Structure 1
């Protein structure tokens, strides 16, 4: 039976991540709190707006209302990566070879490992950034689509157009697909490895609310999303991804909305967080469910697994946090 170690934080928790076996909790007030032989606090921003785990290194990247972009190591030490005075940094991304991307207004800025920068301008405000897993290529989500830029060359961007506001962006782990969350209740995707003339667009609709959380399965076979009274899980293993295929619906709970999803790092097991604070574990293969945490205070806004997959950290909009030991 899983055990839950509660951890209360005052205020809204915007993200939780593991670096090694150490869980970090990021607060909207601008602090990073980590459980490392007791609670340790790292003040970072005068208001934190985003905190992500760099997929290419053992560090976190944060952006704040103070215009700063910070990198945080597992011991809590922090380094200033960039600063844009009087700008709010809501968008950061980690890339290969230590590159860092951030955005404000209509500009995407890439900080390269040697400290030099490269800037790309868009016609509309940049809402999200993501690096491809191979090569220094970055996707910038904006109104009416996504721009793909090669960072190390001066070639013109590839524009992927689709009407509407695109608010989040992610490459599939194998790089064959690009998917965006939208301001409307939908996802949109593009097949990147198709031949000229092949259908490239993927429309993933039918959500009753906006998709604010998504997670790829370890090998990229599935993409799980929030935005419904179940986790909506789209299949991506076929040549054309989810085109013409229905998604799985896991952890259905009548009219109680899913607010957060997080795939296990090694198994096709999905952690599902709900608006009432409950956390459920579901195995994709057979839909078997395990209650990981009973309903609590506030909607689940953040979840992450430890590297070994034995611990699951969660945080809520009410600061109701904890660590679930699924091996207990």
Structure 2
């Protein structure tokens, strides 16, 4: 039977991650709480807006209303990647080779591990950033689509156009697909493995009753789980054309609560589903078998993350009632 170790943080939890084996909870106030043989509080920002875990799994990159970009490591050490600035940093991303990207307004900056900085300008505000799984390529989501650019070299950015506001962007783990969540209740995707110069292949994933705020790829990239409905909407991506012409799975269906957060297990085809009433379920993708991980709480689940072995699940809520579930009990 799963056991829950609760922690009450009295603030909206925007993100949770495991840095190594250390769970951290990033709060809207700008504080990050680290559970490592006791509770450690790190005052990183005057108002936190965005977080991303580094690719090595040992650091958390954060951006805030104070314009700062910070890094917190598993051992509690802090570093300032950019000092206070006038514009809010509302989106950050971590990439291969220690690269970090952040956006403020229409500009995105990439900080490389050797101290080099690269800047990219868009015509509209950048709402989402993601690094490709291979090679230093950065996707920038904005109004009417996504720009995809190589960090090194001077090749022009590739534009993936689709009308509307795109506010989150993610690559499939194998790099074959690019998917955004939109201001309307929909996801949009593009195939990236077409021949150069060929017409772009689009994927429209619609029918959500609410905005999609949470996305998570299964470990091998066969499935993309999403929030925004009374069940987790899980799209199939194993076929050559991804979900085109295929219906999604609907997992963890409940009549009285919306799914607010999803997190796929790091090794199994299993998804943790957080709801608007604070409940958390684990559901196996193959047969929809459900296990209750946490009963309803004080507020909607807003953040979840598995540790690398997949035995522990950290969760956070809008009301600050957070915790760590040990699924093996």
Bucket of the pairwise TM-score, normalised by the shorter protein: over 0.9
Q: Could you tell me how far apart the structure 1 residues matched to 2:118 and 2:287 are?
A: 47
**In the alignment, does 2:273 pair up with 1:272?**
yes
Does structure 2 retain, via aligned residues, the 8 Å contact 1:56–1:95?
Answer: no
Q: Secondary structure of the residue that 1:11 maps to in structure 2?
A: coil
Deviation of 1:41 (Å): 1.0
Provide the residue aligned with 1:138 in structure 2.
138
Provide the residue aligned with 1:179 in structure 2.
179
C-alpha change, 1:160 and 1:56, in structure 2 (3 Å) is: farther
Deviation of 1:198 (Å): 5.6
Q: Could you tell me how far apart the structure 2 residues matched to 1:80 and 1:122 are?
A: 25
Q: Could you tell me how far apart the structure 2 residues matched to 1:321 and 1:73 are?
A: 20
Q: Secondary structure of the residue that 1:97 maps to in structure 2?
A: helix
Provide the residue aligned with 2:254 in structure 1.
253
**Alignment deviations for residues 17-42 of structure 1 (CA, whole Å, 9 cap, x no partner):** 00122110111111111111111111
Q: Could you tell me how far apart the structure 2 residues matched to 1:5 and 1:114 are?
A: 40
| Mean Cα deviation higher: 93-102 or 54-63 | 54-63
Scaled by the length of structure 1, what TM-score is found?
0.98
Deviation of 1:56 (Å): 4.2
**Alignment deviations for residues 163-200 of structure 1 (CA, whole Å, 9 cap, x no partner):** 00000000000000000000000000000002354661
Provide the residue aligned with 2:298 in structure 1.
297
C-alpha change, 1:57 and 1:316, in structure 2 (3 Å) is: closer
1:1-328 matched pairs, under 5 angstroms: 1-83=1-83, 85-195=85-195, 196-197=197-198, 200-328=201-329
Q: Could you tell me how far apart the structure 2 residues matched to 1:56 and 1:40 are?
A: 22
Deviation of 1:58 (Å): 1.9
Q: Secondary structure of the residue that 2:156 maps to in structure 1?
A: coil
Deviation of 1:51 (Å): 1.7
Deviation of 1:288 (Å): 0.2
Question: What is the aligned residue count?
Answer: 328
Name structure 2 gaps, 5 residues minimum: none
Does structure 2 retain, via aligned residues, the 8 Å contact 1:280–1:290?
Answer: yes
**Alignment deviations for residues 7-26 of structure 1 (CA, whole Å, 9 cap, x no partner):** 00021111110012211011
